[in-house]
Structure formats: C-alpha cells, structure tokens
A and B are shown apart, each in its own frame.
Chain A
Amino acid sequence: MKKIFPLLVLCVIFFASCGAADNSDAYRPYTVALHVRVDMLVANMHALDSSQHELIPADGVIFSGYVAVAVGETVFDVLQRTMRDERIHMSARFTPIINEAYVEAIGNIFAFDAGALSGWKFHVNGEFPGISASSVELRDGDVVIWAYTLDLGRDLGATTW
C-alpha cells in the first residue's frame, strides 16, 4: 500500500488542478453569432445508435446565441469557451505541431457516430474555410455555424473540406 499512496496523492492533485479555469475578464469588443446544430441527425435519426437518440433536440439546436469575442480569438477558442460556459459537453483533439484542433464531439455526439463520413463542420458567414477552426480568427458580426454532417459536409452545402 505504501507505493500506491503517492500515486493517489498525485491523482488527486492532478484532478484538482484540472478544475481551475482561467476566468479572466478579457476585453471582448466583438459580438459573434454562434449556432450549433444537428439538423442532419434530426432528419436521419436511424443513422445514430438508439442510446444517443436522447441527445438530439427535436429542433436540432444544441446552442444558439450571441457571444462576446476578444480580438484574435479563433472559431475554436470561442466554441470551446462558450460550450464550457453553457455546460455543454465538447471534446477536441489537438495536434500542437501544426496548431490544429479537431472538434470530435459536441453534446456527446462524436465524429463517426453516424457513419464513416460523419462529423462536425463549421462555416463562417456561409463559407467553409477548409482549414482548422483554430486557424480562423473571428471579426465583429461574424456568423459561425457548427453543424453535424453525415456526408463530409456535402449535405451542408460544402464544396471544400
């Protein structure tokens, strides 16, 4: 038991430190409209496992609202911050060397949960940038829509990916 004790202490410290978020009141001059939608899933519920049906809101809206954004914040930063503030589940994978974040899940709906071509895509002012959300900086008045696709974005009207 002696050997296990330090491990336990480390675990406790580690998890305790996880809770500390930076709640700094940064100056956020921009306002951006952010929508997170699962319309494709509402129309194709059968593509999902039945255990996940309870996660899909009937109107397809997981989040919709206006968000204050700081200068230089990216689409990814804003999504992550907002989801955390709104207590909505979200999970991402990071590739630090190319500074890329991949949003694998919002609201417990993961990429590939509804087929091999499914996942989260975003567009800003109706345009699919074709690069990672952590590389797209936002400006005042932008409209960001995160939508779940079943077909690599083609069902959302994307021509680039």
Chain B
Amino acid sequence: MFILHPVMLVISFVCAGVYAFLLRGVRVLMRGLVLLLPMMLVAAAMNPLFNHRGVTILTYLPNGNPVTLEAVLYGLAVAGMLATVITWFVAVNAVMTADKIVFLFGRFWPALSLLLSMSLRFVPRMIRQGRVIVVAQKGLGRKPNALKVISILMTWALENSIETANSMTARGYGLRRRTAFHLYKFHRRDVFALGWMITMALVVGVGVALGVNRYRFFPSVQFHALSGASVIVFVSYFALGAVPIILRAKEVLVWKRINSAM
C-alpha cells in the first residue's frame, strides 16, 4: 500500500478495486472514482511544480525552475498510491463494523475503541439525518435550503450527543470490566488464513528489505531488473491482496448454493 513500485501499486489497486466492487457494488465504486480522479490529477500535477529533482528536464516554469520527467512520474505514482489507499478504505468501511472494532480494541484500550466506533459512525449518520430533515421539511410544505438544514442538523446533533452521553453512562460505558457480546471464535480456518497472510507479508517484507525490487525516482528513474526473486515478491503481494477477494467470493458462492438448494 505504501510501496511506490508501479507493478505493486497496480497489484494493490486491482485487489482493492475488485474487493470494494464485490462489497459495495459498481455504483459506489464509480462515485468514489469520480471523486478520486480530480484528486489524483491535482496530486500528479502539483508534484512537478514544487519538486525539481530529476535529470530529464521537460520544460521550465515561469520562475526558471525545471519541470522534470522524474517529478511527473513520481507525482503519478503518489496519485496511484492515494487512489489505492482510498479504495482499500472504502472496503474497510464496509467490513469493519462498530462491534468488530469494539471487539478488537475493547480489551486493552476501551476509550480508543469507543472513540473509533463512534467517530467512524458520525459522518454517515449526519448525512442520513440530513436527508431525513430534508424530507421532513418538504413534507411540511417548506423549501429546505442548505443553511436551514445544517442549522437543524446541528441542533439535533447537540441534543443527541447529550442523550447519547446519558444513555451510555447508564449502560456502564467506560467502566473497566464491562464486557461486550460477540460470537468470534478462533477456528482452524482462521489459523490457516492468518498463517497465509503472515507468510505472504513476510515474503514481501523480506523481499523489499533485501531490495529485490528496488526502485528509485530521483535523480533518474531506475527499477531493479525483473528476476525470479522479484516475481516471487509480486506473486506473494498479489496472494496477500487477493485474500479478502477469495474469502468474499467463497462466501457469495456458498450463499448462492444454499439459496438455490432451498
């Protein structure tokens, strides 16, 4: 995800894109891309304006500094990384529900898990309530304007936060030994999946540390020649990124088979 090697970027982006598509459907993905594309363009265009490293001078800025090919390529790679990270997080948002976060972090850092689960929920909740307000205003025969909706939304949020705080105190949040219900058990398949991911991550980590797919953008673009070791790293990187896709695809298939059997 944070490796700027173009091949690894493409692998990671394809994995993230396919997984996000499986989870959220093509419409959410397209909407995300429409937002993403201008951001990528800006990131790619900004870099050569401020970064003047690189031996291949393409042209000069009005202030006399060079625009270099290396800076352009680096900007594109960073834009690709940005897109990849955001696409992964589209998937993370769909998968990591509040109960999972509380389960993961609740034991050793209750405040953090609470904060995470509440703040991650905050934006979608505000948007949803905003829509409710618009519908309600229309139902009353009023024309809702943005300022008014936001004003109502703020009032609602403030009131709601007090209610939430009271309710949570009543339910014993923040106490040390509070438990949460969960159904997660560590099965053999989990051992297998975890082992698989750790192995692949280790292969990639060792490969990167040994520099079998070294890359550099400055002062001149250079990539380590393709070798057996670098292919192994690429394949393991793909095997790591494809894990969620395989799991998801298997779930969908099983679900379809059960449904059609009924």
Interface, chain A (partner B; CB < 8 A): 3-4, 7-8, 11, 15, 17-19, 21, 51-52, 54-55, 80, 84, 87, 89-92, 94, 104-105, 108, 110
B55 touches A89 (CB 8 A): yes
Write the B49-77 contact mask toward A (1 if CB under 8 angstroms, else 0): 00011110101111111111000000000
Residues of chain B touching chain A, judged by Cβ–Cβ distance below 8 Å, are 37-38, 41, 45, 52-55, 57, 59-68, 216, 218-220, 222
* Max chain A Cβ within 10 angstroms of own Cβ: one of B45, B60, B219: B219
Q: Assess the A51–B64 pair: CB atoms within 8 A.
A: no
Contact between B53 and A110, CB atoms less than 8 A apart: yes
A108 and B38 form a contact (CB under 8 A): no
**Chain B residues, CB < 8 A from A4:** 37-38, 41
A-B contact pairs, 12 of them (CB 8 A): A4-B41, A7-B41, A21-B60, A51-B222, A55-B219, A89-B54, A89-B55, A91-B52, A91-B53, A91-B66, A108-B54, A108-B55
* B-side contacts of A18, CB under 8 Å: 59-62, 67
Question: Would you give the shortest CB distance from A134 to chain B, in whole angstroms?
Answer: 11
Q: Determine the distance from Cα of A11 to Cα of B59 in the docked complex, in whole angstroms.
A: 13
Known: A4-B38, A7-B41. A87 touches B57 (CB 8 A): yes
Known contacts A3-B38, A7-B38, A91-B65; is-contact A15 B52 (Cβ 8 Å): no
Closest chain B residue to A93, Cβ basis: B65
Q: How far is the CA of A15 from the CA of B66 in the complex (A)?
A: 11
B66: which A residues are within 8 A, CB to CB? 89-91
**Contact residues in B for A21 (Cβ distance below 8 Å):** 60
Report the separation of the CA atoms of residues A4 and B34 in the bound assembly, to the nearest whole angstrom. Answer: 10
B54 CB contacts on chain A under 8 angstroms: 89, 108
Which one of A3, A52, A87, A104 lies within 8 Å of B219 (CB-CB)?
Answer: A52
